[in-house]
């Protein structure tokens, strides 16, 4: 078997995120088909898709996935179509019932939740944004944004006030009285985003939100998400099949294939040291110098090198090139005031040359 299961919790979250994870999933399985529960734990579970289907009539969409997402983190799940990523995100709030596994969101056991508890979780703790928007065609934009609050039973004046605020947040205040079919795809998805934010959830689930949009609009929307993320600090799980998008948005990225996570790591880790050939093929066309930072290519400073020109350790190789090229001496990578390593021209050249193979 070429695929190896990697648990997300094996990798420490980047930066300052610590404390208890907000979302915790362990050993989640989703098998579609007759007697799905019998597959799990049997030798059949490890069969490739085609053989499993032929033998049992079942399709394993998600296989033994575990993940932990910390507060304020953007966790991206990336995979080709059919890799099970959309199914995975739906099992987290049981839009699709997982066949097996444990799921906990904001400390609540999702699997054991009663229908009422599950509704409460969906109403207040988690919001989802869909690829095809899922707007209500018979309602004005502002009523769409207010829908989550309406479902909660918030009084009309209050929810419309909140909805108007959300429309301002996404820059659609002028469209409040229009209907979804009068808006462009990008604007419709902004309505979807505003709707999700309106209930002030702790967790946002994005299911390929921008796949149906034109490339230019997609880029705008990605910027928008980055901005909202900075302003509100929500925890996000973001599903995409677009690697550049994953690298742009993700604090950590899980690469999914045939229902399993094949690698979980920071963008740098995924690009810099792909877990297997599959991931390597994926990231081959990504310019490494755009993703890798000095932390990735630096070496320990030798005596006497620590007083060279300084750059933040988070700087990408590409941004560092002008300064490194202009200086004879190795550049010091600093984390705050402390020198954590040095980068010389050889290291930069190697990092860039790595793109070629």
By C-beta, is 177 or 273 nearer to another protein?
A: 177
The minimum distance between CB 119 and another protein, in angstroms, equals 4
For residue 253, count CB atoms less than 10 angstroms from its CB and return exposed for 0-12, middle for 13-18, buried for 19 or more. buried
Summarize the chain as % helix, strand, coil (round to 5).
40, 20, 35
Give the one residue of 148, 267, 274, 330 binding another protein; rule: CB under 8 A: 148
**C-beta of residue 185 within 8 angstroms of C-beta of residue 216:** no
Cα–Cα distance, 249 to 14 (Å, whole number): 14
Which range of residues in 16-24, 70-78, 127-135, 260-268 is near another protein by CB under 8 A?
Answer: 127-135
Give the one residue of 6, 65, 128, 246 binding another protein; rule: CB under 8 A: 128
The minimum distance between CB 60 and another protein, in angstroms, equals 13
Give the one residue of 100, 136, 340, 352 binding another protein; rule: CB under 8 A: 136
Sketch the per residue contact string, 19 through 58, with another protein: x for CB under 8 A, - otherwise: -------------x--------------------------
By C-beta, is 205 or 298 nearer to another protein?
A: 205
By C-beta, is 42 or 182 nearer to another protein?
A: 182
Rule CB under 8 A: is residue 202 a binding residue for another protein? no
**C-beta of residue 88 within 8 angstroms of C-beta of residue 28:** yes
Nearest to 126 by CA among 220, 226, 25, 30: 25
**C-beta of residue 207 within 8 angstroms of C-beta of residue 86:** yes
Cα–Cα distance, 261 to 7 (Å, whole number): 7
Rule CB under 8 A: is residue 134 a binding residue for another protein? yes
Q: What is the torsional sign of CA 63, 65, 291, 193?
A: positive
- Contact residues for another protein (CB under 8 A)? 32, 59, 93, 95, 118-124, 126-128, 130-140, 147-148, 150-152, 177-179, 181-182, 192, 195, 199, 205
């Amino acid at each position: 078997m070429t695929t190896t299961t990697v648990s997300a919790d094996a990798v420490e979250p980047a930066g300052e995120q610590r404390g208890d994870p907000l979302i915790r999933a362990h050993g989640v399985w989703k098998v579609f088909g007759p007697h799905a529960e019998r597959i799990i734990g049997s030798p059949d579970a490890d069969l490739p898709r085609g053989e499993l289907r032929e033998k049992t009539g079942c399709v394993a969409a998600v296989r033994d996935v575990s993940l932990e997402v910390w507060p304020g983190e953007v966790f991206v799940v990336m995979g080709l179509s059919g890799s099970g990523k959309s199914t995975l995100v739906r099992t987290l709030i049981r839009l699709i019932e997982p066949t097996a596994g444990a799921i906990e969101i904001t400390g609540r056991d999702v699997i054991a939740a009663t229908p009422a508890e599950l509704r409460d979780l969906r109403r207040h703790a988690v919001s989802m944004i869909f690829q095809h928007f899922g707007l209500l065609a018979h309602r004005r934009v502002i009523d769409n944004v207010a829908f989550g609050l309406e479902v909660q039973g918030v009084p009309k004046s209050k929810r419309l006030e909140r909805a108007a605020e959300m429309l301002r947040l996404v820059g659609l205040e002028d469209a409040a009285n229009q209907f979804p079919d009068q808006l462009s795809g990008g604007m419709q998805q902004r309505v979807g985003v505003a709707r999700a934010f309106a209930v002030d959830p702790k967790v946002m689930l994005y299911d390929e939100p921008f796949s149906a949009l034109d490339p230019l609009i997609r880029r705008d929307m990605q910027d928008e998400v980055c901005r909202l993320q900075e302003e509100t600090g929500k925890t996000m799980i973001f599903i995409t099949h677009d690697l550049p998008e994953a690298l742009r948005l993700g604090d950590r990225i899980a690469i999914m294939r045939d229902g399993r996570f094949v690698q979980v790591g920071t963008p740098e880790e995924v690009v810099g040291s792909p877990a297997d050939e599959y991931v390597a093929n994926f990231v081959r066309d990504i310019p490494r110098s755009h993703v890798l930072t000095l932390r990735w290519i630096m070496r320990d400073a030798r005596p006497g090198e620590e007083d060279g020109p300084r750059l933040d350790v988070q700087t990408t190789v590409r941004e560092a090139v002008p300064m490194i090229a202009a200086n004879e001496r190795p550049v010091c990578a600093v984390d705050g005031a402390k020198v954590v390593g040095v980068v010389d021209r050889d290291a930069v050249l190697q990092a860039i040359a790595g793109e070629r193979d």
